[in-house]
Structure formats: C-alpha cells, structure tokens
Amino acid sequence: MADLITPELVDLDLTATERGEATKALAERLQAQGRVTDLDQFLADVRAREAQMPTGIEGGIGIPHCRSVAVTEPTLAFGRSTKGIDWGAADGPAHLIFLIAAPEGGGAEHMGILAKLARKLIHASFRDSLTQAPDPEAVVTLVKKEVLGQ
Amino acid sequence: MKIVAVTSCPTGIAHTYMAAEALEQAAKDAGHDIQVETQGAAGAEAVPDAAIAAADAVVFAADVEVRNRERFAGKPLVQTSVKRAINDAPGLIAEAEAAARSGATAPVAEAAPAAAAGPQAPATKVDEGAHLGVRLRQWLMTGVSYMIPFVAAGGILIALAFLIGGPEVANKVNGGTFGGVKYAGVGDDLSKLVAVAGYAGLMFKIGAVAFSMLVPILAGFIAYAMGDRPALVAGIVAGLLANEIGAGFLGGLIGGLLAGAVVMWIKTIKVPRGVAGIMPVVVIPLVSTLVVGALMLVVVGQPIAAAQRALTSWLNGLSGSNAIVLGILLGLMMAFDMGGPVNKVAYAFGLGALASGNLKVMAAVMAAGMTPPLGLALATVLRKNLFTRAERQAGEAAWLLGASFITEGAIPFAAADPFRVIPSLMLGSAVTGALVMGFGNTSRAPHGGIWVVGLIGKPVLYVVAILIGMAITAAAVIVLKSMGHSETEIEPAASRQATAT
C-alpha cells in the first residue's frame, strides 16, 4: 500500500481564501502524485459531499473528503492557512485543512486507516503539533507516527 | 453509567469516526463506560445486544438513518447530528446522563434480566422467556411514546373545545340531542363547520381527527419496534381496523403485536436473492397487512360485537337492581378499556338512561370516566421515579383530559403496563361509580367533565366522589408499580457490583 501522506501532499502556506479554491489546490497535489486520476470528477465528488453538510468542525478544522472512482489509493493531503478559510463551522474559519481521498469500494483495511486518521483529528495535541510543524516532512512524520504507529 | 452510541455520516469515512472518538473521550473523562458502533465505510462492528440491554442511555450521533435502530427501542435516547458529537461531546454525555436519570424506571426494569444473565451467558430457555418480557415492554413503550403526542394534541383540543364552546359542541359537530335541543350536525360538508359549530367546533373536529389516530399510531409503532419499517403498514392498518370494529386500544395493542410478529416471522424465511430486494418494500407489507387485517376483522371483530351485545342486554336486565352495584359495574367497565368496546357499552347505557329520563346513570358513568387520567396524573406527581419521562409528560396532559371526561388520557399508561395500570383504574372508577350512585348525583350532560358541573345535581358531593376515586387509583398504581420494581431493583444492583469488582 502506498504511503498515506508524503511531503509533496503537504502545503503549509495555502494561499487560497475560499473553500473550493483551497480544495482544488490540494487536489492538484493529489493528481500530481498519481493518487487522483480525474481531477474534475474528484472535485465534483468532494463538492457533492460538502453540499450535504459542510465538513468544517469547531477548532478551526476543515475535512473535505469523498469516496470517488477517481481515487487510486487512500490518501491525505494537508494544508495550513494562516488567514483561515470559511469551512462552515460555527466558531470561525478553518486553519487546518485535511483533504481525505478514499477510493470507491476501498477494502476494510484502507477504510480502517482513514478511520484511525479521523479519530486522531479530535485530539487537540495532534492539531497543535500540526499547527506548529516547521516543514512538510515534520507533518508526514507526525501523521505516520500518530495514525500508523510508524 | 453505561452508555452505548451509534455514529454515522453520509460518506462514512471521517465524521463517523471523529464523533466516535470524541464521545469515547468525553465519556471517559466523565467516568462512564461507553461502547460506540461506528456505522461507517470501514464496516460496522455491532454493539452486542447484552451491552445495549445493560446500557443506561443511548446516544445517536447520526446524519443518516441509524441502521437496525430497533435494537435500541425503549432505552432513554439522545439523538443529535454527528457534528454536535464532535463539537460538544461533553455536553452530549451530560444530556445522556439526564436522559438516563429521567427515564430511570425503563432501563432498570429492562436491564435487569439481561444483567442477571450475564453478557456472555448462553441463551437458555429461561433467559429467552425473560428476554421476551423485556422486549415486549420495549415494543409497547415505543408504541406509547409515538402515541402520546396524539393523545395530548387531540385530547387538549377537544377539552378546549368543550371549555370554549360549551358541552353541546360535540353535538353541534356530530349531530344528536343535547339538553333537549336537537342538532343536525355538520354532515359531510366540512366547509360549513365553522358556520354551524363555530371555532370551538373547528377545534373539536381537529382534536377528534387527531384522536382517531391514537390507536393506529399505537399499533403501527408497536409493530415498527418489532419488525422495523416493513411492519409499520400492517400495524397501522390493524389499528385502523381496531377503530372500525370498535376494538379500542386493547384491540390495537393486540393488532400491533400481531403485525410485528407476522413480519418478524416472514423475515426468517429464506428467499432467493432476486426476490430479497423487493421483500421489505412489497412482499412483507403486502402479505403481513393482508394476514393481520383478515385476523382483525374475522377473528377479533366478531367476538367483540357479540360480547358487546351480551353486555348490553345484561346491563339492561340489571336496571332495576341495587343502584350501588350498578355504579360499581359501570365504573369497572368505564375504566377497563378507556374508550374501547366495554367502555362504549357502559357509556351507551348511560346515554340510553339519559334519553329515558334517568339522570343518575350518566352521572356515574361520567365521574368514573374522569378518574383514570386524573388518578394517573396524581400518581406521576407523587412518585415521579415510577414513571418514564414519556409517561410523566403524558401525566401533565392527563390532568386536563381527566377533568374533561376524556378517559383516553389514561391509555398511554395502560398500554405501557396494562396488568398493573388497568386494575388500579378499575378500582378507583368502581369506587367513584358507587359513590355517585350512593350520593344520588344526577347529570343532564352526556359529556364535558368538570366544565358541565353546573348541570350536575349535588355538585360538591360529585367532586368529592371523583377526588376519592382519583386518590384510590393513584394509591393502587403506586403500590402495584413499587411491588413490581422492588424485585428487579435488587438484581441489577447486585450484578453490577459483581462486574465492577
């Protein structure tokens, strides 16, 4: 199985100011790494999920995600925005953006990893570490340690 | 405290698990045990039935339908969005604590047999029997909890209609004679409703329609609790037929259980994969509705009509006998099924007596029909912890319903726990019926309750008779419910200690 996250999938200085743009910026990284085969299809699937109910949660987190036929491997792309982007949470804009891409019909093992990742997002210590991470490598190390135990 | 929770969201890869984690953290911080079923893409590992049985409260944090939710029927429930669990899990846990506290009697009674049997105990014959009793109560409570809003909305509208429009409002809408005046009624043309019967008549009509759904909703949601969505139609139709054949709430209760049982049985039949897809949408509803409907009409309907005829002629034969004995009998009948076939015979007997100029029988019938909701309302105030939260809410409405001679206000209590509640109601009503006959009260009104006290002979004694019956019913129901609970309360306390050490 390919890595859940690599340094190329991390953008510590998202310039986008709007939900759609930010998602697209991160999705392009997924495409560049071969994790997404059809960018338009993938973005449409993310939008469809977002339209059901915005995925932002309190504490400055946005979690755009979808299961899509355009996804090859379960993958996380991570973005950090200093200014913040409105992600539909009641308490203000999101500073940490987790774009979770799941393949359609992914096996239990794949989904289990994403489930573990989702559980980690709740923990303030995990969020704080990500907020303070100095470079993309640090983010990757942190995610691997916390989610995969590596 | 023990909590079980289900989390689910549209995609099932992110929020489902975040909510689960947040709930687990919050429960741990508050010192509770929690088991979370994540109905997400990674596959749901079902919470064991034993854990559900032992749980003090259930939390649903779900943006999509919780699968197999009937497993949780009858438990104190907090239901919210998945985001709420993520954003404010500690608040949600606090709500679950409150739900467990306020619904205290239900989980104690329900958890007892399962806890005593131990979570891993193999299913023996005895356990199965105990388990059925637990589930039966959960099924009934589900039906009751959906029915209570209909009792409250319909009953209070009818009571207000009497209050505003006077006791003749029912006859203005439905026709008939009141106080010597003959009313034509509105007939089929409801556009004339307000012109003929006024806004009180409008309220009466709306209330009456809401009330007519009481038995169908009870039967439908008993069946729903047993067999999930496919069972709803057979249950509701059974309830509607119970109305049609005059079988009352007891008929609806039986019809609902019957519908649920038939659906549960059909579900056990193995069918080819091609047919399986249309089973819950077409086959199960069709077959179960036909079977249960036919049973209601043929097997239940005929005996009820025959019994009603026999009771009527028996009562007519008793007319000349001791008035107090007649008062006791009418009281017992009024309270037995609260608007069902037996109650109707007693009420019709009172109407017949009224038409022939005997005003005493009607007075006894009305008073005996008022004490059941009043007595239960009093009991919910005196001993809160013997009643579930739903029952206590029904108790608040029951004051007004009882005072207005709307005996149906007692149905939620009787449907949830018939063997303790109905005898208590009959006892109080019998005493009130006897007292009214003994005092020699009269009533020129066929309905209206306390609001027509101006038409009652010796009104002070009449109120005294009602208050005495009400107190007796409240005392009896408290005693019977306390007796039932003292057995079950010792068991789980002991077994919980055993698991804790």
Decide if B7 touches A, using CB distance below 8 A.
no
Which chain B residue shows the shortest CA-CA distance from A109?
A: B42
Local structure of residue B282 (DSSP, 8 states)? I
Which residue of A96, A122, A125, A147 to mutate against B (max B Cβ within 10 Å)?
A122
* Closest C-alpha to B204, from B6, B500, B406: B406
Minimum-distance CB partner of A52 among B10, B18, B21: B10
CA–CA separation, B245 vs B296, rounded Å? 8
CB contact under 8 A, B14 and A65: yes
Per-residue pLDDT in tens (0 to 9) along chain B, 501 residues: 899 999 988 778 888 989 999 999 899 988 899 999 988 877 677 888 888 888 989 999 988 778 888 788 878 888 888 888 988 888 899 888 888 877 643 333 333 333 333 332 222 222 234 467 777 877 888 888 889 889 989 999 998 998 888 878 888 888 887 777 888 888 888 888 888 889 999 999 999 999 999 999 999 999 998 888 899 999 999 999 999 998 888 899 999 999 999 999 998 888 887 777 788 888 999 999 999 999 999 998 888 888 888 888 888 887 666 889 999 999 999 999 998 889 989 998 998 888 888 899 999 999 999 999 999 999 999 998 888 877 888 999 999 999 999 999 999 999 988 999 999 999 999 999 999 999 999 998 888 899 888 889 999 999 999 999 999 999 999 999 988 654 433 333 333 333 333
Other C-beta atoms lying within 10 Å of the C-beta of residue A125: 9
Which residues of B belong to the active site?
9
Kind and range of the H or E run holding A19: helix A19-32
CB contact under 8 A, B38 and A115: yes
Decide if B357 touches A, using CB distance below 8 A.
no
- Using a CB-CB cut-off of 8 Å, the residues of chain B touching A116 are 17
Alpha helix locations (H) across A33-135?
39-52, 108-121, 124-132
Which residue of A57, A71, A91 to mutate against B (max B Cβ within 10 Å)?
A57
Supply the pLDDT for residue A2: 76
Local structure of residue B357 (DSSP, 8 states)? T
Contacting B residues, span 17-76, partner chain A, CB-CB under 8 Å: 17-18, 20-22, 25, 38, 40-43, 63
- Using a CB-CB cut-off of 8 Å, the residues of chain B touching A102 are 11, 13, 41
Judge contact between B33 and B27, C-beta under 8 A: yes
Supply the pLDDT for residue B43: 67
- Using a CB-CB cut-off of 8 Å, the residues of chain A touching B61 are none
* Closest C-alpha to B227, from B262, B270, B258, B260: B260
Judge contact between A62 and A46, C-beta under 8 A: no
CB contact under 8 A, A102 and B43: no
CA–CA separation, B16 vs B376, rounded Å? 42
Give the strand pairing for A94-103 and A65-68. Answer: parallel
CA–CA separation, B373 vs B425, rounded Å? 9
- Using a CB-CB cut-off of 8 Å, the residues of chain A touching B16 are 115, 118
CA–CA separation, B481 vs B429, rounded Å? 19
* Closest C-alpha to B488, from B202, B50, B108: B108
CB contact under 8 A, B16 and A52: no
List of residues 6+ apart from B90 with CB closer than 8 A: B26, B29, B30
For residue B388, report the phi and psi dihedrals to the nearest 5 degrees.
-75, 165
Radius of gyration of chain A (CA): 14
Supply the pLDDT for residue B336: 94
CB contact under 8 A, A65 and B11: yes
Tokens standing for residue B294: 């036919």
CB contact under 8 A, A57 and B83: yes
CB contact under 8 A, A111 and B40: yes
**Secondary structure string (H, E, C) spanning B50-102:** HHHHHCCEEEEEECCCCCCHHHHCCCCEEEECHHHHHHCHHHHHHHHHHHHHH
- Residues of chain A with pLDDT below 70 are 1, 106
Residue keyed to tokens 């009624």? B185
Supply the pLDDT for residue B106: 36
CA distances from A132 to A10, B63, B214 (A): 14, 33, 60
CB contact under 8 A, A118 and B13: yes
Minimum-distance CB partner of A67 among B15, B41, B63: B41
Distance between A39 CA and the closest CA of chain B, angstroms: 19
Q: How many CB pairs under 8 A join A and B?
A: 75
CA distances from B15 to A117, A127, B5, B89, B227 (A): 11, 16, 14, 13, 29
Local structure of residue B182 (DSSP, 8 states)? E
CB contact under 8 A, B13 and A114: yes
CA–CA separation, A22 vs B459, rounded Å? 78
CB contact under 8 A, A65 and B63: no
ipTM of the complex: 0.88
- Using a CB-CB cut-off of 8 Å, the residues of chain A touching B18 are 57, 63, 118-119, 121-122
Which chain B residue shows the shortest CA-CA distance from A60?
A: B87
Amino acid at A122: I
CA distances from B204 to B170, B263, B344 (A): 7, 36, 20
CA distances from B42 to A48, A74, A144, B223 (A): 21, 12, 19, 32
Q: Which residues of B266-278 are buried (b: 16+ CB within 10 A; e: fewer)?
A: bbeeeeeeeeeee
CA dihedral A124, A127, A133, A138 (to 10 degrees): 100
Burial of A23 (0-12, 13-18, 19+ CB in 10 A): buried
Please say if A65 is a catalytic residue: yes
Which chain B residue shows the shortest CA-CA distance from A64?
A: B14
Q: What does the DSSP assignment read for B467-481?
A: HHHHHHHHHHHHHHH
CB contact under 8 A, A119 and B83: no
Q: Which residues of B354-383 are buried (b: 16+ CB within 10 A; e: fewer)?
A: beeeebbbbbbbbbbbbbbbbbbbbbbeeb
Quick one: chain B helix, strand, coil %, rounded to 5? Answer: 75, 5, 20
Which chain B residue shows the shortest CA-CA distance from A113?
A: B42
* Closest C-alpha to B420, from B385, B397, B387, B468: B387
- Using a CB-CB cut-off of 8 Å, the residues of chain B touching A89 are 87
CB contact under 8 A, A102 and B41: yes
- Using a CB-CB cut-off of 8 Å, the residues of chain A touching B10 are 49, 52-53
User: Which residues of A fall below an 8 Å CB-CB distance to B?
Assistant: 49, 52-53, 55, 57-58, 63, 65-67, 89-90, 100, 102, 106, 108, 111-112, 114-116, 118-123
CA–CA separation, B255 vs B37, rounded Å? 33
Which residue of B7, B9, B13, B87 to mutate against A (max A Cβ within 10 Å)?
B13
CB contact under 8 A, A118 and B14: yes
List of residues 6+ apart from B58 with CB closer than 8 A: B3, B4, B5, B6, B52, B72, B75, B76, B77, B78, B96
- What is the arrangement of strands in the sheet containing B2-8, beginning at the earlier edge strand? B33-38, B2-8, B57-62, B77-80
- Using a CB-CB cut-off of 8 Å, the residues of chain A touching B14 are 55, 63, 65, 100, 114, 118, 121
Q: Which residues of B149-186 are buried (b: 16+ CB within 10 A; e: fewer)?
A: bbbbbbbbbbbbbbbebbbbbbbbbbebebeeeebebb
CB contact under 8 A, B41 and A119: no
CA–CA separation, B81 vs B307, rounded Å? 51
